[in-house]
């Protein structure tokens, strides 16, 4: 059960050697999509240098248009594994379908369930049966209760290693891509013992807003953030407008120092 009523203390989920929940404020970073070996390795080295603990990168991409880049698939997973070995950072990557679960488990340390699949109950059960850490992103229009019940599916399948992620919800607002619901972070931390992450990249869709909302995430009590970074955002094959440049990522980590060090 994910409720604090049944477990008062915070759960800690270990992604490789990185504990998420409890003490540390963990920064996960990397490109939206794995695009090539040089692209991934260069950004991985860069974010690692500035203090990222977990490497993110999509190999199977849930794109709104079927005509947009769909990800490198298994080749992308292999590149993530290589980047992990070179940098020492464990990895998180999205699994979109039950048929991809085994491959993602083979190469990746934490399985991401994307917002569009938060209520794909068959997929939730399948990742629940793996026992691997799962990063569960809140659906685009899901209530907090629905998100917690989605987590319950994974836990009920035998896997307690669930990390919740607020990534913004759809509202009437159009100035930003989504509306980052910081209420949900505070609420989920009170209601559930699971670690809660914030994704300020998808939450805002605007690179200039990622750093201020990252500070807000830390202030509201999130256990960490997952952010998109690209060393050449104008060339990115997905989500370039919300990717932090290397310099912006360095600045972000600088501003998070009080939270990361207090941990």
Which parts of this chain interact with Mn ion (CB under 5 A)? 32, 239
Q: Count CA within 13 A, CB hemisphere, residue 182.
A: 14
> Which of 32, 163 has the CB closer to Mn ion?
32
Binding mask 185-204 for ligand PEP (x = CB under 6 A): --------------x--x--
Q: For residues 195 and 189, give the distance between their C-alpha atoms in angstroms, rounded to a whole number.
A: 7
Nearer to ligand PEP, 87 or 117 (CB): 117
Nearest residue to the partner ligand PEP, using Cβ: 114
Smallest separation, CB 201 to Mn ion (Å): 7
| Smallest distance, Mn ion to C-beta of residue 97, A | 18
Q: How far apart are CA 30 and CA 52, in angstroms?
A: 9
Q: Which residue among 46, 48, 132, 167 contacts ligand PEP (CB under 6 A)?
A: 167
Which of ligand PEP, Mn ion, none does 132 bind, CB closer than 5 to 8 A by kind? none
Distances in whole angstroms, Cα of residue 151 to Cα of each of 73, 128, 134, 145, 194: 25, 9, 9, 10, 9
Residue 162 CB contacts under 8 Å (≥ 6 apart), including other chains: 2, 13, 133, 134, 136, 151, 154, 155, 194
Shorter beta-carbon distance to ligand PEP: residue 132 or 137: 137
Letters for 47-66 (x = contact with ligand PEP by CB under 6 A, - = none) are -----------x---x----
């Amino acid at each position: 059960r994910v409720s604090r009523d049944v477990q008062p203390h915070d759960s800690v989920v270990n992604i490789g050697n990185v504990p998420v929940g409890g003490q540390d404020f963990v920064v996960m970073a990397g490109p939206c999509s794995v695009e090539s070996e040089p692209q991934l390795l260069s950004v991985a080295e860069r974010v690692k240098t500035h203090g990222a603990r977990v490497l993110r990168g999509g190999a199977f991409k849930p794109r709104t248009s079927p005509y947009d880049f769909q990800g490198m698939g298994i080749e992308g997973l292999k590149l993530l594994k290589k980047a992990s070995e070179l940098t020492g950072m464990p990895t998180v990557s999205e699994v979109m379908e039950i048929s991809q679960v085994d491959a993602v488990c083979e190469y990746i340390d934490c399985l991401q369930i994307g917002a569009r699949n938060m209520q794909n109950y068959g997929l939730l059960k399948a990742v629940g049966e793996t026992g691997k850490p799962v990063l569960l992103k809140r659906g685009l229009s899901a209530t907090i209760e629905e998100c917690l019940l989605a987590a319950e599916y994974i836990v009920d399948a035998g896997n307690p290693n669930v990390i919740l992620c607020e990534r913004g919800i759809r509202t009437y607002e159009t100035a930003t891509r989504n509306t980052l619901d910081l209420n949900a972070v505070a609420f989920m931390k009170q209601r559930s013992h699971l670690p809660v992450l914030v994704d300020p990249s998808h939450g805002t869709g605007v690179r200039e807003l990622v750093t201020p909302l990252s500070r807000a995430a830390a202030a509201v009590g999130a256990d960490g953030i997952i952010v998109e970074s690209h060393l050449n955002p104008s060339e990115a094959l997905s989500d370039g407008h919300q990717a932090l440049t290397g310099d912006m990522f360095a600045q972000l980590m600088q501003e998070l120092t009080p939270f990361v060090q207090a941990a």
